[in-house]
Amino acid sequence: MAPEGAIDNQGLQGHTAAPGGVEHVPDPTALGLTSTGWVAVAMIVVILLMIWKKVPGMIGKMLDTRIAGIRTQLDDAKALRAEAEAIRTEYEAKAKTAHVEAEAMKAHAHHEAAAIIAKAKAGAEDLMTRRAKMAEDKIAAAERTAIAEVRARAADAAAKAAGILIAEHHDAAADRMMVDRSISGLSRLN
C-alpha cells in the first residue's frame, strides 16, 4: 500500500485512506492556482502598487528627513556638550581662583591677627609701664606725705621741746630783753 498522495510507477496519483485514518482531500484551485499561488499573486500586486505609487521613495524621503532630524539633534547635542565643557572649564577656573583668593585671604588674616597680637602686646606693656609709673608716683607721693608728716611732727615736737626748754631756762627778765630788742629792731627798718 502506497502512502497517501504518492505517485505510483504509472504517474497516477491516487487517494487512499488508511484504515481508521482521515481521508486526504486535495487543495481547491482557482484558475489553476492554489491558495499559496493566489497569496503570491496578491503579494506581487501589492509590491507593484507600492512601486507604482512610489512608496519606497516616500519611505526614503521620510527616512532622510528622520536622519536629518537626528543629525540636527546630534549637532545640537554636540553644541550643548561643547557649551557645557566651556562652562565646566570656566567654573573650574573660578574654583581655582576662589581657592587662591581664599588662601590669600587666610594668609592676610593671619598677618593681621599677628599684627593685632603684637599691637596688643605692645599696648599691654605700655599700660603696665604706665601703671607701674603711676604706682611709683603714688608711692613717691605717699613717701613725701609721710616725710612731710614726720617733719611736721618733728617740728611740733621741736617747738614744744624748745618751748619747754625756754620756759625752764628763761625768766621774765630775759623775755623783756628779747621783746625790747625786737621792738628796737622794728624801728630801724622804717
Maximum pairwise Cα distance, the chain: 208
- Say which residue the cell 588662601 belongs to: 103
pTM of the model: 0.36
Span 6-18, pLDDT tens digits: 455 555 455 555 5
User: For residue range 34-75, what is the model confidence (pLDDT) as tens digits?
Assistant: 888 888 989 999 888 888 888 888 888 999 999 999 999 999
Mean pLDDT calculated for residue range 137-159: 90
Is the separation of the CB atoms in 15 and 4 below 8 Å? yes
Name the percent of the chain lying above pLDDT 70.
85
- Confidence bin at 104 (pLDDT 50/70/90): very high
Mean pLDDT of 102-119: 93
Q: What are phi and psi of 26, to 5 degrees?
A: -70, 155
- What is the SS3 assignment for 30? strand
What pLDDT shows up at residue 1? Answer: 46
| Per-residue pLDDT at 21 | 60
C-beta atoms surrounding 16 within 10 Å: 14
Q: Report the 10 Å Cβ neighbour count for 152.
A: 10
The residues that bridge with 30 in the sheet, in sequence order, are: 33
Neighbour-count burial of 37, counting CB atoms closer than 10 A to its CB (0-12 exposed, 13-18 middle, 19+ buried): middle
Q: Name the 3-class secondary structure at 46.
A: helix
